[in-house]
Structure 1
């Protein structure tokens, strides 16, 4: 029996992803670059993370309940109520996702590191592991996926060369490593148990992955704050306690709303049954384009550093990769269908 497929094309989800992610990046960058009236300085990434993640967790749980997606997940009965519960595979994916969840917002906040550059670096690493995971699980990688990967990799290398290499703060390097490892774990599990083409499996995977990934990421930040870690523990304390009485909480709520939308769309795109070398460049390129567009808006509206010519060129290459991934499979399907038509 052929698995059910979403009636909406993947490009539609990619467009929605872009529209949700763009304002998320802009607001995150503004909060960490413009002075906060209460503090007299910009908030740090560690001060914005706890509240936005807590609100994101609440919104995600509300969505899981309101949408009914929890019915597709595995569950256990507790006090007469069925509670979603991950399997050992989705639990592992949840740990990988937890690493991703708190390194992505953190990546927008490093002083002296442009948003397009850190986006290219983090997303480029994931593009490298995507076909490796396909090969690990003996999944066919078609020519257009290889070409799109090559295009995005070239854009990444050009940008790296223009900046003179990996000149990053130590915390930024740690964030990149954790992010890449988290995605390796997540994509491996997705490929093993999630890429079936059945919408019910997408809903199940989302619920089982997020039900523990979000509290795990918050618990990690809370532990760092509780044990004390130099100045960082004070920043985390403000993020967990002080920020709730600051008017900036409204903007952190906005970040959480857009982050929730992005997380739903990301799972839908990545769990498309086609190879990772197709889905990952589609999703990654979209997020990279959003990062470049956000940098352009920040330069235009708030006089922040504009994307360089190299970064804009790289963005154009990424758009071309998205077009290739959208058009090539359709042309191939039409040609294949025409070749099997009975001749008169």
Structure 2
């Protein structure tokens, strides 16, 4: 794994297809398990698990899985380091700390979004994915990336899929908590894409791996802290639920599948990040990622219908799959993945805070 140039894989259509297929395979059990836990449908557990109660165990699961992946991949050597008291210590730079904060918001909000009563997996997927699909071309235009015709076509088809599916959700009621969670999710992506554009996404193996490793190290640590601080302070009902997640809940049978949620998200995180780090524009990478997760949501929804009796996806949601399939076909066309590299900005060398590729002071 360590000897294969990431740039080579990211320039080939087969590379993205493989990443998207893996993302799909990980997202099906992840989303289904979160929804089943929140509905109380996991065998051996006692009743529904609230989202804020579940979140600490999920965060700890990803925190435990992260060093395992980096060790197996042999990528710890890409981590940014500083000399502290005569020792070289892994310390992500300021830009990567910001990226970790934004990404932690994404990870936490994604899990929470599947736990709200009355909200199906597909509904929340469509709200999250539709927002990021709209965000993608905005970020590309701000960074002066060339957005090619194939990417615009795939974006349009993906948005059509979201619009069709959303026409079937009048019966759902979403409260303030769900709206805030989706808003945090979209804000997280805006911040993450801004940092990613500044420090990586140029098809340079060392630069992209440095970004990936630093963000990967920081994200689960920040997420655990975001859960632990309000739990320790006891800030209202939300703080009390988070505290329960760190204490009594960890002694229940449901703690094991909740921990597994975080382990599964580790795979989602790894595969999804490499799709976004592809040197092509976000308007190309985002539909590739969104298509995989929407298809996974359909499979997870039908699985829960069969196993737990949850309502099946509506006809409009299924019709949306036709648009998703068309978007995937457009992205797979020969030549659809060429170009898209943003121009270098010599006025922003300091933003490469994740470390200079190939070593130097950051090593």
User: TM above 0.5, one fold?
Assistant: yes
Contact 2:45 2:254 in 1 (8 A): no
Alignment equivalent of 1:198, drawn from 188, 204, 211: 204
CA change 1:77–1:24 in 2 (3 A) is same
Alignment equivalent of 1:219, drawn from 225, 232, 247: 225
Shift of 1:165: 9.4
Q: Find the aligned partners of 1:298 and 1:196 in 2 and give their Cα distance.
A: 40
Q: Find the aligned partners of 2:86 and 2:76 in 1 and give their Cα distance.
A: 16
User: How many residue pairs align between the two structures?
Assistant: 332
Give CA deviations for 1:194-227 in whole Å, capped at 9, x if unaligned.
Answer: 1121233232112211222222221121122223
Alignment equivalent of 1:134, drawn from 136, 140, 149: 140
Contact 1:3 1:196 in 2 (8 A): no
Where do 1:108-147 residues align within 5 Å? 108-147=114-153
Match of 1:172 in 2: 178
Match of 1:5 in 2: 8
Q: Find the aligned partners of 1:105 and 1:48 in 2 and give their Cα distance.
A: 9
> SS of the residue aligned with 2:60?
helix
CA change 1:263–1:80 in 2 (3 A) is farther
Where do 1:220-259 residues align within 5 Å? 220-259=226-265
Over the aligned positions, Cα root-mean-square deviation in angstroms equals 2.4
Q: Find the aligned partners of 1:62 and 1:226 in 2 and give their Cα distance.
A: 28
Give CA deviations for 1:72-125 in whole Å, capped at 9, x if unaligned.
Answer: 232113465533322222222111101101000101111001110110111110
TM-score normalized by the length of structure 1: 0.89
Match of 1:76 in 2: 82
Structure 1 gap ranges (5+): 334-344
Shift of 1:239: 1.0
Is 1:325 aligned with 2:331? yes
Q: Find the aligned partners of 1:55 and 1:214 in 2 and give their Cα distance.
A: 9
Contact 1:69 1:207 in 2 (8 A): yes
Shift of 1:264: 0.7
Q: Find the aligned partners of 1:36 and 1:160 in 2 and give their Cα distance.
A: 28
Structure 2 gap ranges (5+): 340-363
Contact 2:164 2:319 in 1 (8 A): no
Where do 1:147-162 residues align within 5 Å? 147-162=153-168
Match of 1:339 in 2: none
Alignment equivalent of 2:61, drawn from 55, 62, 68: 55
Moved more, 268-277 or 285-294: 285-294
Moved more, 34-43 or 295-304: 34-43
Question: Which 4+ residue blocks in structure 1 deviate beyond 6 angstroms?
Answer: 36-39
> SS of the residue aligned with 1:234?
helix
TM-score normalized by the length of structure 2: 0.85
